[in-house]
C-alpha cells in the first residue's frame, strides 16, 4: 500500500480508501460482513474509511461505528452531510442549522466524539459559502471535526469557496471528493487543476465506474452487478452512452490482458496515477470484492499503458456526462437560464 499526504493537512492516508455506501440496506450487508470487510481493509493497509449520513439512512455509519470500536485512533474517519435525510426541507443542505444537527447525528451513530474529515456531500446553491464555511470553522474549533472538505463540487465552486474563506478569515476546504475513472475523466479538465492549485487532497469515488471496470461487464455477457438492480438505466446498452462505455471496456480489456493486469488493477492503477489524486475510494460489498481490489494497491501503470488508455478514452472526456452530479443548476432547470 502507498501512503500520501492529504492535501495541506499533514495526515498520511492510504492510496486506496474504504468507501462504505454498500454497507447496510443498499448492499444488503450485515454487521458481521461489514466488520469482516473493515478488518480485512485495515490488515491490507487501508487507513481511511469514508461514509455518509445518507448511506442507507444512517445505517452505514452505525455499522462502521461498531466495526471500528476500540481502534478509532488507527483510522482516518470521514463522513459527509448535505443530501436529504428526510422529507423536511431543512434536513438537507449546507446551512449552519442543518450541519450542526447532522454532525451530532453522525457522531452518535459512529460512536465517536469527532471525525477527521467532514465533507459537504453536494454544493448547496441555497446557502452562501460564508454561511457554510463559518459553521464548519466553528465545528472544527469545537473539536468535533479535525478538517473539512467538499464532494462533487464543480471547479468554479472550489475556487469561489477558497476565495470566500480568505475574504472572511475562515478556515478552508482541504479536500474534494469527485467521481473519477477511466470512463469519466472530465475532472482532468478543471477540477483536478483547481485542486492542485489550492493543494487540496482529492479522494475519488467510483474508480470502477459502478462496476463497468470490474471485469464482470463484457460484450455478450449478462450484466449483473449490485448497482444494476437500483440504477438499471446506467447499464441499459441501448443507451448510446452505455454503448460507448461497453465498447471502451472491450478495448481496455485487451490493454489489461497485454499488460498482464486484471481490469480492476488497470482501473485503480489509472485512478491513483494522476498526481492530483490522493486516494481512490473502493466500495466492496463482500470480502471477496475487497481482496480483488486490494490486489491493485501497489499497481503502478507504465507510460505505454497510460498512453493506450488515453487512445481509448481521451483525457478530460466523460463517456456519460449526464452522470457527473456536478452539473450547474441552470443546465438542468430551464427557468434558471431564461429571463
Which amino acids are annotated catalytic? 55
- Torsion angle, CA of 210/39/48/109, rounded to 10 degrees? 90
Which of 98, 97, 106 is CA-nearest to residue 61? 106
- Looking at residue 179, the DSSP 8-state letter turns out to be B
SS3 302: coil
Q: Which residues, including other chains, have CB under 8 Å from residue 220's CB and lie 6 or more apart?
A: none
The CB density around residue 10, as the number of other CB atoms within 10 Å, is 7
Backbone angles phi, psi at 179, to 5 degrees: -80, 140
DSSP state of 44: T
- Work out whether strand 175-177 and strand 201-204 pair parallel, antiparallel, or are unpaired: parallel
With H, G, I as helix, E, B as strand and everything else as coil, classify residue 25: coil
Contact 61, 70 (CB under 8 A): no
Q: List, in sequence order, every residue forming a beta bridge with 184; answer none if it has no partner.
A: 318
196/202 Cα distance (integer angstroms): 9
Crossing angle of helices 240-259 and 303-312, in 10° steps, is: 160
Burial class (CB in 10 A: 0-12, 13-18, 19+), 171: middle
Using CB atoms within 10 A of its CB, is residue 298 exposed (0-12), middle (13-18) or buried (19+)?
middle
Amino acid at each position: 500500500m502507498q501512503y500520501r499526504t492529504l492535501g495541506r493537512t499533514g495526515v498520511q492516508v492510504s492510496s486506496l480508501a474504504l468507501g462504505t455506501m454498500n454497507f447496510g440496506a443498499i448492499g444488503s450487508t450485515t454487521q458481521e460482513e461489514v466488520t469482516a470487510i473493515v478488518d480485512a481493509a485495515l490488515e491490507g493497509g487501508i487507513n481511511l474509511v469514508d461514509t455518509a449520513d445518507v448511506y442507507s439512512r444512517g445505517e452505514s455509519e452505525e455499522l462502521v461505528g461498531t466495526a471500528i470500536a476500540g481502534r478509532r485512533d488507527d483510522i482516518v474517519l470521514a463522513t459527509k452531510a448535505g443530501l436529504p435525510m428526510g422529507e423536511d426541507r431543512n434536513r438537507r443542505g449546507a446551512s449552519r442549522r442543518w450541519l450542526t444537527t447532522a454532525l451530532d447525528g453522525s457522531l452518535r451513530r459512529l460512536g465517536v466524539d469527532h471525525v477527521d474529515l467532514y465533507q459537504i456531500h453536494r454544493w448547496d446553491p441555497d446557502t452562501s459559502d460564508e454561511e457554510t464555511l463559518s459553521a464548519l470553522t466553528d465545528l472544527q474549533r469545537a473539536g468535533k471535526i479535525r478538517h473539512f472538505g467538499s464532494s462533487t463540487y464543480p471547479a468554479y465552486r472550489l475556487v469561489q469557496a477558497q476565495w470566500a474563506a480568505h475574504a472572511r478569515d475562515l478556515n478552508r476546504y482541504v479536500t474534494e471528493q469527485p467521481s473519477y475513472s477511466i470512463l469519466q475523466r472530465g475532472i482532468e479538465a478543471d477540477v483536478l487543476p483547481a485542486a492542485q492549485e489550492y493543494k487540496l487532497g482529492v479522494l475519488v469515488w467510483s474508480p470502477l465506474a459502478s462496476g463497468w471496470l470490474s471485469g464482470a461487464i463484457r460484450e455478450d455477457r449478462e450484466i449483473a452487478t449490485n448497482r444494476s438492480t437500483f440504477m438499471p438505466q446506467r447499464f441499459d446498452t441501448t443507451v448510446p452512452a452505455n454503448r460507448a462505455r461497453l465498447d471502451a471496456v472491450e478495448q481496455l480489456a485487451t490493454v489489461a490482458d497485454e499488460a498482464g493486469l486484471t481490469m480492476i488493477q488497470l482501473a485503480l492503477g489509472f485512478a491513483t496515477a494522476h498526481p492530483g489524486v490522493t486516494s481512490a475510494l473502493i466500495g466492496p460489498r463482500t470480502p471477496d470484492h475487497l481482496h480483488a481490489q486490494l490486489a491493485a494497491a501497489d499497481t503502478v501503470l507504465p507510460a505505454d499503458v497510460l498512453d493506450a488508455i488515453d487512445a481509448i478514452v481521451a483525457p478530460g472526456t466523460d463517456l456519460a456526462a449526464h452522470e457527473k452530479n456536478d452539473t450547474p443548476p441552470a443546465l438542468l432547470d430551464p427557468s434558471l437560464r431564461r429571463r
